[in-house]
């Protein structure tokens, strides 16, 4: 089979498995087989870029960086909908529809109103060729690269009756679980939290690096089909067909014959919507028949054949009993409202978020006030206001602490930040504990058998001051340790004790953690702003802890995805003598301080006897890929510019020092295209 045929075969096969998985929830192959096929395809496409198909699943993993998004004009304008919060107005809408249709019979389709970002996707000959945002309704941004990362969106569809050119529209969103996961990760590295899933989705779709987009599992529900000429008679038919062709159509829609049936749908989903994987803020009611939609037409802004009914935000009012202050891993102090328990959207709420000191001031809230709380897209309810009519003499101002509630150190506030911080990073107990929890988490050193109260016990007994102490633990030190705790939430007493089996599990996990890869170790250090992705990029770039520690600010800011803020944070972290001692202890403990270099399959001997170094960034390769190509074709990588160097490959934003030195020594400098020509 020729490479081109194999590329075709792999593309079809992988797209088919994706379709089965995302549309029908069937795994026809295990993850390993799937990944192997995908890797083979990526390898072949790299060697034969000319055979890469436009619907290749390899684009799902992202990798394209755009400076800015081109503007695209929508073939059909993207309109918005009239809104209402009232059932009376819905009846009026129904009356207008009846009148507009001169009393012909009609039906509605009800759908949920998904709270995300409106997207429009164009397909030519069944292949996804363009994805765009709504923009101002007439023109939007071309974000095709980012849209391709949505795994449930077919890159190619098959079936009869598919018009050669059509558009599908829908709502792009960040599933709630994914939103929570991202915020957990951000909290972990001291990044400000994303406000709600909608903003998070919209920010993600406008990310310039599609590889980052691919890491956030965006999704999309489709709700319109547009083609000229029209191929369906009703909206209902279009939803059924889109679903059959493999588009992700939420199964929550329903055809209703009367406005009463619409009301029943609204009531049913008022609380049921909280069980959906995404935020919704209402329902959309659409006249079903397209000819009737045409007859009703549009106003200047929105169709007369559709309306959005919005649910009022679920709110309740209750008493603010007290405010507690939590200190996170980075020392940020977060106020939490403790409330008289109240029922809200089906759950009992006892606590709500007050975000930060600014927010308390903005709300003007006092202790013992009656406060309004709301549940929006996010899971934790928030305090949204004060019922001033109910304020009594019992209300007293909230004294925002000036000192850390945990260790008593005076709090500081950095320029432009909404949070106060406890600067006692090293010995403030909650900061210390959070640092340990960060260190043992799965994505770091994976010593999770130490979770749930066991860490507290070790801290209490003075055995864990610093994560490096983990590697000094022994059976003798652990066996028999015991402590009773009162569970804050339930008031129950819980005993944590280290029996033989527990100790064995803990020590095995610690032992195994010595093999955790270098990027995990780097992430585990807990350097502010260095999350998983940044740790991977740093590991890729520097290859070892020593190289990273020696890197000056100027080198760090050149690493992909590392900006001035991260670079500064890394430099400051490694400059601290305590941190240096910590790193040395981890080295003594035998943790992985260097990246595994991949074994590269040979491709040719075109670069035999030649040496290479590169500088800057490249359009077709990551640094890792470039290194792989050099090695696979027989070339050798050098670590600095010298007379021995045959070629310096110069990319965008190349480092001036390397280029200058190469010029002085008369080393050949080539661009990316010349390099590609050398190996193809
Ligand atoms: S139909 C002309 N259906 O709501 C009608 N829109 O204000 C086009 N939306 O921009 C929209 N869920 O982003 C439609 N099931 C649904 C929807 C929905 C959410 C959003 C969409 C649109 C806005 C309309």
Give the pLDDT of residue 600. Answer: 72
Contact 109, 236 (CB under 8 A): yes
Which domain-ending residue is among 455, 483, 513? 513
CA triple 63-66-70, angle to 5 deg = 135
Smallest CA separation from ligand 1 atom 23, residue? 80
Give the pLDDT of residue 194. Answer: 80
Contact 252, 106 (CB under 8 A): no
Rounded to a whole number of angstroms, the distance between the first and last alpha carbons of the chain is: 20
Same domain as 667, residue 617:
yes
d(Cα 15, Cα 596) in Å, to the nearest integer? 31
Please report whether residue 572 resides in a domain: yes
Which residues on adjacent β-strands are paired with residue 611?
636
Same domain as 499, residue 577:
no
Ligand 1 atom nearest 118 alpha carbon: 13
Smallest CA separation from ligand 1 atom 17, residue? 113
Which residues on adjacent β-strands are paired with residue 332?
421
Q: Find the CATH number of the domain harbouring 101.
A: 3.30.470.30
Q: What are φ and ψ of residue 215, in 5° steps?
A: -70, -25
- Rounded mean pLDDT of the chain? 90
| pLDDT at residue 26 tops 80 | no
Same domain as 369, residue 494:
no
Ligand 1 atom nearest 116 alpha carbon: 13
CA 446 to chain centre: 21
Q: Is 404 annotated as a binding residue?
A: yes
Q: Is 110 annotated as a binding residue?
A: no
CA 671 to chain centre: 34
Q: Is 358 helix (H, G, I), strand (E, B) or coil?
A: helix
Annotate 654-663 with b (16+ C-beta within 10 A) or e (fewer): bbeebbebbe
Give the pLDDT of residue 312. Answer: 81
Give me the mean pLDDT over the 391-420 stretch.
Answer: 91
Which residues on adjacent β-strands are paired with residue 46?
none
Q: Find the CATH number of the domain harbouring 667.
A: 3.40.50.10190
Same domain as 571, residue 533:
yes
Question: Is any ligand 1 atom within 6 A of the Cβ of residue 284?
Answer: yes
Question: Is any ligand 1 atom within 6 A of the Cβ of residue 379?
Answer: no
Ligand 1 atom nearest 253 alpha carbon: 15
| pLDDT at residue 192 tops 90 | no
The candidate with the shortest Cα–Cα distance to 356, out of 385, 376, 326, is 326
Give the pLDDT of residue 379. Answer: 64
Give me the mean pLDDT over the 282-294 stretch.
Answer: 97
Give the pLDDT of residue 377. Answer: 55
Instruction: Cis check for the bond before 229: say yes or no (omega within 30 of 0).
Output: yes
Per the annotation, the verdict on 492 as an active-site residue is no
Question: Is any ligand 1 atom within 6 A of the Cβ of residue 198?
Answer: no
Which domain-ending residue is among 462, 484, 513? 513
pLDDT tens, position by position, 331-375: 889 999 999 999 887 678 899 989 888 899 999 999 999 999 987
Contact 107, 255 (CB under 8 A): yes
Same domain as 241, residue 185:
yes
Same domain as 498, residue 367:
no
Q: Is 217 helix (H, G, I), strand (E, B) or coil?
A: coil
| pLDDT at residue 92 tops 90 | yes
pLDDT tens, position by position, 438-497: 999 989 999 988 876 889 889 888 999 999 999 999 999 999 999 887 776 677 888 888
| pLDDT at residue 302 tops 90 | no
Task: Name the residue of 79, 110, 114, 283 whose CB sits within 8 Å of the most ligand 1 atoms, as the mutation to test its pocket.
Answer: 114
Contact 114, 51 (CB under 8 A): no
d(Cα 680, Cα 678) in Å, to the nearest integer? 6
Please report whether residue 259 resides in a domain: yes
Please report whether residue 49 resides in a domain: yes
The candidate with the shortest Cα–Cα distance to 148, out of 123, 165, 166, is 123
Q: Find the CATH number of the domain harbouring 43.
A: 1.10.287.610
Going from the Cα of 302 to the center of ligand 1, the distance in angstroms, rounded, reads 11
- 190 pLDDT band (50/70/90 cuts)? confident
- 236 pLDDT band (50/70/90 cuts)? very high
Please report whether residue 605 resides in a domain: no
Which domain-ending residue is among 537, 556, 588? 588
Quick one: residue 307, left, alpha or beta (phi over 0 = left, psi -120 to 50 = alpha)? beta
Smallest CA separation from ligand 1 atom 6, residue? 113
Going from the Cα of 283 to the center of ligand 1, the distance in angstroms, rounded, reads 9
Question: Is any ligand 1 atom within 6 A of the Cβ of residue 369?
Answer: no
Give the pLDDT of residue 622. Answer: 79
Q: How far is CA 325 from CA 213, 253, 337, 360, in A?
A: 34, 44, 9, 13
d(Cα 656, Cα 475) in Å, to the nearest integer? 55
Ligand 1 atom nearest 224 alpha carbon: 1
Contact 354, 381 (CB under 8 A): no
What is the tally of structural domains in the chain? 6
- 25 pLDDT band (50/70/90 cuts)? low
Please report whether residue 32 resides in a domain: yes
- The count of residues in the chain is 680
| pLDDT at residue 639 tops 80 | no
Give the pLDDT of residue 54. Answer: 83
Question: Is any ligand 1 atom within 6 A of the Cβ of residue 673?
Answer: no
Contact 443, 520 (CB under 8 A): yes
Q: Find the CATH number of the domain harbouring 443.
A: 1.10.150.20
Same domain as 15, residue 87:
no
Contact 621, 560 (CB under 8 A): no
Question: What is the span of the domain harbouring residue 535?
Answer: 518-588
CA 214 to chain centre: 8
Q: Find the CATH number of the domain harbouring 387.
A: 2.40.50.140
* DSSP structural state of residue 590: T
Question: Is any ligand 1 atom within 6 A of the Cβ of residue 223?
Answer: yes
- The alpha-helical segments, DSSP class H, found in 377-517 are 429-440, 454-460, 475-478, 500-513
d(Cα 310, Cα 409) in Å, to the nearest integer? 47
Give the pLDDT of residue 621. Answer: 82
Please report whether residue 404 resides in a domain: no
Give the pLDDT of residue 208. Answer: 81
Give me the mean pLDDT over the 233-245 stretch.
Answer: 96
Smallest CA separation from ligand 1 atom 13, residue? 118
* DSSP structural state of residue 341: E
- 114 pLDDT band (50/70/90 cuts)? very high
d(Cα 453, Cα 434) in Å, to the nearest integer? 12
Bridge-based pairing of strands 636-637 and 611-615 is parallel
Q: Is 81 annotated as a binding residue?
A: yes
Same domain as 81, residue 17:
no
Q: Is 32 annotated as a binding residue?
A: yes
Q: Is 35 annotated as a binding residue?
A: yes
Q: Is 603 annotated as a binding residue?
A: no
Q: What percent of the chain has pLDDT over 70?
A: 97
Contact 204, 218 (CB under 8 A): yes
Please report whether residue 641 resides in a domain: yes
Same domain as 234, residue 115:
yes
Please report whether residue 601 resides in a domain: no
Contact 40, 7 (CB under 8 A): no
pLDDT tens, position by position, 40-86: 998 898 888 888 888 888 877 665 666 678 889 999 889 889 989 89
Question: Is any ligand 1 atom within 6 A of the Cβ of residue 303?
Answer: yes
Question: Is any ligand 1 atom within 6 A of the Cβ of residue 113?
Answer: yes
Contact 323, 338 (CB under 8 A): yes
Task: Name the residue of 111, 133, 171 whose CB sits within 8 Å of the most ligand 1 atoms, as the mutation to test its pocket.
Answer: 171
Question: Is any ligand 1 atom within 6 A of the Cβ of residue 269?
Answer: no
d(Cα 592, Cα 447) in Å, to the nearest integer? 15
- Non-local CB neighbours of 558 within 8 Å, separated by 6+ positions: 653, 655
* DSSP structural state of residue 472: G
Question: Is any ligand 1 atom within 6 A of the Cβ of residue 118?
Answer: yes
- 532 pLDDT band (50/70/90 cuts)? confident
Contact 420, 412 (CB under 8 A): yes
Give me the mean pLDDT over the 531-554 stretch.
Answer: 91
User: Active site residue: 13, 67, 99, 113, which one?
Assistant: 113
Q: Is 636 helix (H, G, I), strand (E, B) or coil?
A: strand
CA triple 131-140-83, angle to 5 deg = 100
Compute the Cα dihedral for 601, 605, 606, 608 and give only its sign.
positive
Q: Is 371 helix (H, G, I), strand (E, B) or coil?
A: strand
Q: Is 302 annotated as a binding residue?
A: no
Same domain as 530, residue 507:
no
Same domain as 39, residue 80:
no
Q: How far is CA 545 from CA 485, 569, 662, in A?
A: 39, 16, 27
Q: How far is CA 657 from CA 9, 560, 646, in A?
A: 46, 18, 17
Give the pLDDT of residue 63. Answer: 59
Q: What are φ and ψ of residue 608, in 5° steps?
A: -50, 135
Contact 150, 412 (CB under 8 A): no
Same domain as 451, residue 340:
no
Give the pLDDT of residue 540. Answer: 86
């Amino acid at each position: 089979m020729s490479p081109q045929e194999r590329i075709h075969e792999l593309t079809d096969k992988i797209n088919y498995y994706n379709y089965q998985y995302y549309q029908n929830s069937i795994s026809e192959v295990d993850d390993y087989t799937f990944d192997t096929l995908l890797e083979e395809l990526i390898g072949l496409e790299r060697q034969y870029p000319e055979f890469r198909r436009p619907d290749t699943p390899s684009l799902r993993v992202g990798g394209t960086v755009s400076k800015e998004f081109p503007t695209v004009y929508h073939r059909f304008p993207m309109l918005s909908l009239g809104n209402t919060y009232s059932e009376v107005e819905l009846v009026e809408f129904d009356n207008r529809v009846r009148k507009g249709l001169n009393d012909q019979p009609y039906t509605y389709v009800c759908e949920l109103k998904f709270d995300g970002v409106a997207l429009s996707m164009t397909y030519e000959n069944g292949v996804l060729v363009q994805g765009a945002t709504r923009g101002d309704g007439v023109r939007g941004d071309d974000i095709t690269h980012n849209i391709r990362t949505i795994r449930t969106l077919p890159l190619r569809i098959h079936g009869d009756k598919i018009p050669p050119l059509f558009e599908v529209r829908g709502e792009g969103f960040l599933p709630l679980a994914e939103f929570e996961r991202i915020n957990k990760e951000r909290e972990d590295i001291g990044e400000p939290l994303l406000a709600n899933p909608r903003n998070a989705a919209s920010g993600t779709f406008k990310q310039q690096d599609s590889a980052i987009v691919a890491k956030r599992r965006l999704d999309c529900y489709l709700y319109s089909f547009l083609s000229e000429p029209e191929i369906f008679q009703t909206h209902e038919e279009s939803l059924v067909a889109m679903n059959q062709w493999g588009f992700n159509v939420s199964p929550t829609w329903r055809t209703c014959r009367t406005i009463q049936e619409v009301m029943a749908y609204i009531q049913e989903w008022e609380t049921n919507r909280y069980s959906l994987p995404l935020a919704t803020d209402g329902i959309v009611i659409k006249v079903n028949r397209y000819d009737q939609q045409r007859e009703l037409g549009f106003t200047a802004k929105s169709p007369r054949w559709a309306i959005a009914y919005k649910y009022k935000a679920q709110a309740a009012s209750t008493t603010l009993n007290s405010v507690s202050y939590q200190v996170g891993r980075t020392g940020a102090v977060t106020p939490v409202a403790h409330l008289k328990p109240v029922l809200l959207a089906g759950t009992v709420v006892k606590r709500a978020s007050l975000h930060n000191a600014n927010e308390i001031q903005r709300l003007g809230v006092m202790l013992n006030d009656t406060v309004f709380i709301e549940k929006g897209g996010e899971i934790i309810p928030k305090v949204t206001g004060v019922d001033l009519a109910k304020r009594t003499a019992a209300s007293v101002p909230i004294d925002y602490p000036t000192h850390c509630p945990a260790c008593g150190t005076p709090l500081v506030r950095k320029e432009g930040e909404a949070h106060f911080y406890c600067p006692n990073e090293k010995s403030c107990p909650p900061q210390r504990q959070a640092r340990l929890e960060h260190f043992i988490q799965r994505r770091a050193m994976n010593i999770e058998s130490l979770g749930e109260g066991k860490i507290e016990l070790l801290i209490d007994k003075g055995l864990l001051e610093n994560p490096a102490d983990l590697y000094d633990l022994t059976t003798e030190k652990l066996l028999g340790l015991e402590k009773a705790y009162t569970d804050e939430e339930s008031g129950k007493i819980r005993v944590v004790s280290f029996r033989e089996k527990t100790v064995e599990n803990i020590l095995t996990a610690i032992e195994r953690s010595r093999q955790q890869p270098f990027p995990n170790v780097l992430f585990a250090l807990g350097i502010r702003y260095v999350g998983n992705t940044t740790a991977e990029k740093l590991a890729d770039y520097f290859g070892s802890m020593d190289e990273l520690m020696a890197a000056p600010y100027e080198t760090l800011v050149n690493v992909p995805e590392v900006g001035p803020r991260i670079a500064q944070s890394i430099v400051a972290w490694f400059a601290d003598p305590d941190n240096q001692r910590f790193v040395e202890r981890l080295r003594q403990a035998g943790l992985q301080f260097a990246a595994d270099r991949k074994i590269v399959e040979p491709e040719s001997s075109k670069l035999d006897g030649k040496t290479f170094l590169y500088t800057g960034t490249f359009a077709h390769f990551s640094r890792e890929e470039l290194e792989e190509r050099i090695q696979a074709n027989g070339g050798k990588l050098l670590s600095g510019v010298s007379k021995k160097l045959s070629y310096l490959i110069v990319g965008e934003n190349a480092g001036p020092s390397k280029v200058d030195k190469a010029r002085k020594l008369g080393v050949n400098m080539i661009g990316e295209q010349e390099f590609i020509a050398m190996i193809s």
